[in-house]
Structure 1
């Protein structure tokens, strides 16, 4: 097939070429990590429409891709489609277009157990040295993460002129509840998508681990783009929204807009501070100077910004967490639907309350229970630089054991914006939570 040599769009998906017999596992892991990093993926198992496989494959590739990954496994030598259709097409695009990124995930081993860097040419029946200039890594997870980092930097470099020529805004979409596939992309600079969860309320633990391993790229991606502000849209579990906000702290990106599902803009351009006109207040608080906890002190903040109070899950949380040195229940001073035009003020006031409770208790770890609109979780998260937070998800599903049917808060992520490896320090939830 002759490639379409018109200009390529850097926001188009990356195509994963692999042999199903022994490459499916690697291809699946690559796909989920790429999606968590914000790069849409074209993969036959997820995106191939009904009909003749080869004809539909040609049609899908011709529709537009911005890069490709050749998954080279020993049995790829027996794949006619990979050798005669996919690999030649990806190579030609790579040679003809600077914007087209190509990588290799190679599982072939030498006799001494190392990566066989000559195997891709040999197994794909190419002239020796044909793939010598292509970014090549083994298929261990750490190596795949390095490969994906290169693809993210290539994508941002290709988008930088576009971002500079418009309003210098980095556009990001975020979804944790949709089933990711190629047609879910938005054309934003990054489209973060996580593995769908089998749980009716809670996010996928494996999806959160993907995000943990990749989220450290996000702040550098935004700043490498030359953007002065970030615009986020979509919808997500609140723990994920908070973590993404923490990964884009106000100290790195001065202004953030979040567009909700109705198109309203929730904006923040300041820092954590007590506002002149208070936006939130503590409706209840408590302390315990003899907590049953060793190590760093812990405090809890319940941020309930929805009009109708719902205290049951928080009351249950307090019953079983005697190790807290202090806790605070915050509500909006208006007790009505939040006005999106006041989002920055509300976020600043909430973050100041959270920071003050932590500081007053020897820089305590903050256990954060959020009940608020999706945009507020992002805007609060971006103002928590230097705080250590454990973020929870609300769950009202039937208990796995016991007879307590009250809703509960489940510890989900350990988040610290200033952590060197990325804002998510640990995933606390399990797939069977």
Structure 2
């Protein structure tokens, strides 16, 4: 049997085929990793309406898919839907269309405890060797990441021609505040989505861990695409926006613009530097020659660029941490009014110059960054902080888990270093119960 579908669009989602009895956990983990890396996913529990299980692949194909993953678990042998409908049709699509990616994640073990690479053919009742040319990885975390890497490179290679004829612009969609579903895909080269959070303000810890494990693919994906420009749209927690910017530094991606929720464009403008006509001002600062420190010193920068000041969370942070800080800055907008996106690049450059100067002036101190600014600026500031070590914080005004201090606070969320070889996120700092 061969498929009669149209040529797949490489920007379309991936379909995950699995046996619910014992494959749900693997399929869910794989789906979140794909989404964190920017590849939308069709998965029945998240994206398909209630109804006949046999119709799930048909619905996905009708909407458009660019690849599939066969989740092979011991009980898949008992799934008529996977064996007779999903696996054969995914194989046909893979055979008929070079652009259609296919992979296998396999949790079946041999008697010796290794991955049983013959299990997919056997359990799906296929002729031995049918799946020998398909990328197959074990179902542990590292195996899922290896499988994902191949899908990302395949997707980007398949999209190079499209990028070539669209002003060599790479389009990236980013969202951390909505529940990810296949229906919110944009058709961009990558659609980064994180797990929804149970917390009213803070991002999902699991989602941040997914991002940590996948963000190393992002800069290579952009450069492999042949793009000369990067356009980002969406919305996100500011810690994540900053981190995405840090993963795409100006030294690697020359030009970036960010489209905000109102459709305005905030564009990058060169490197970190003090601006002749300052865009930000130092509202307050502090220095300490006797800061309590072990190892690398720490400094803090509060970037408060909204027109109405809100100092409570920052004051609380300084009260708790000033003895441990070699210095701190409170930066505000020089205009004191709503920011004009036209000057976004200059504002980001000015802010980054202040951050860099404070760190460099204190023995390359680690910067604790507290952001209160529009989402696009968090991205643009992040891309100008290469070589710096940054702990980026999130604002939280939820009721305290312990104690009676109900003031808003800043919570350390991610430790970021743009030059880290495995990806810019060195550590997820946000605790599970915040």
Is TM-score (shorter-chain normalized) higher than 0.5?
yes
Give the Cα separation in 1 of the matches to 2:26 and 2:249.
33
Are 1:174 and 2:174 counterparts?
yes
Are 1:432 and 2:433 counterparts?
yes
Are 1:276 and 2:276 counterparts?
yes
Q: What SS does the aligned partner of 2:324 have?
A: coil
Matches within 5 A, 1:202-217: 202-217=202-217
Cα displacement string for residues 106-133 of structure 1 (whole angstroms, at most 9, x for unaligned residues): 0111111111111100000000000000
Question: 2:247 matched to which residue of 1?
Answer: 247
Cα displacement string for residues 161-212 of structure 1 (whole angstroms, at most 9, x for unaligned residues): 1001121011000000110111010000000000000000000001000000
Q: TM-score, normalised by structure 1?
A: 0.99
- Name structure 2 gaps, 5 residues minimum: none
Question: 2:162 matched to which residue of 1?
Answer: 162
Cα displacement string for residues 197-241 of structure 1 (whole angstroms, at most 9, x for unaligned residues): 000000000100000000000000000000001000000000000
8 Å Cα contact 2:44/2:56 also seen in 1: no
Cα displacement string for residues 385-410 of structure 1 (whole angstroms, at most 9, x for unaligned residues): 00000000000000001000000000
Give the Cα separation in 2 of the matches to 1:277 and 1:213.
40
Superposition deviation, residue 5 in structure 1? 3.0
Give the Cα separation in 2 of the matches to 1:265 and 1:333.
21
Question: 2:341 matched to which residue of 1?
Answer: 340
Q: 1:4 to 1:430 in 2, by over 3 A?
A: farther
8 Å Cα contact 1:416/1:424 also seen in 2: yes
Instruction: Let me know the Cα RMSD of the aligned residues.
Output: 0.9
Give the Cα separation in 1 of the matches to 2:38 and 2:342.
28
Are 1:329 and 2:294 counterparts?
no
8 Å Cα contact 1:254/1:269 also seen in 2: no
Question: 1:84 matched to which residue of 2?
Answer: 84
Superposition deviation, residue 2 in structure 1? 6.1
Superposition deviation, residue 62 in structure 1? 2.9
Superposition deviation, residue 56 in structure 1? 4.6
Superposition deviation, residue 47 in structure 1? 1.3
Question: 1:383 matched to which residue of 2?
Answer: 384
Give the Cα separation in 2 of the matches to 1:45 and 1:232.
29
Question: 1:118 matched to which residue of 2?
Answer: 118
Question: 2:356 matched to which residue of 1?
Answer: 355
Give the Cα separation in 2 of the matches to 1:371 and 1:164.
37
Task: Choose 55-64 or 255-264, whichever is displaced more.
Answer: 55-64
Superposition deviation, residue 69 in structure 1? 0.3
Give the Cα separation in 2 of the matches to 1:201 and 1:59.
35
Matches within 5 A, 1:19-418: 19-321=19-321, 322-418=323-419
Give the Cα separation in 1 of the matches to 2:201 and 2:425.
20
8 Å Cα contact 1:19/1:79 also seen in 2: yes
- Name structure 1 gaps, 5 residues minimum: none
Give the Cα separation in 1 of the matches to 2:360 and 2:46.
48
Count of aligned pairs: 433
Give the Cα separation in 2 of the matches to 1:4 and 1:130.
21
Q: What SS does the aligned partner of 1:320 have?
A: helix
Superposition deviation, residue 7 in structure 1? 1.7
8 Å Cα contact 2:269/2:346 also seen in 1: no
Q: What SS does the aligned partner of 2:90 have?
A: helix
Give the Cα separation in 2 of the matches to 1:56 and 1:191.
22
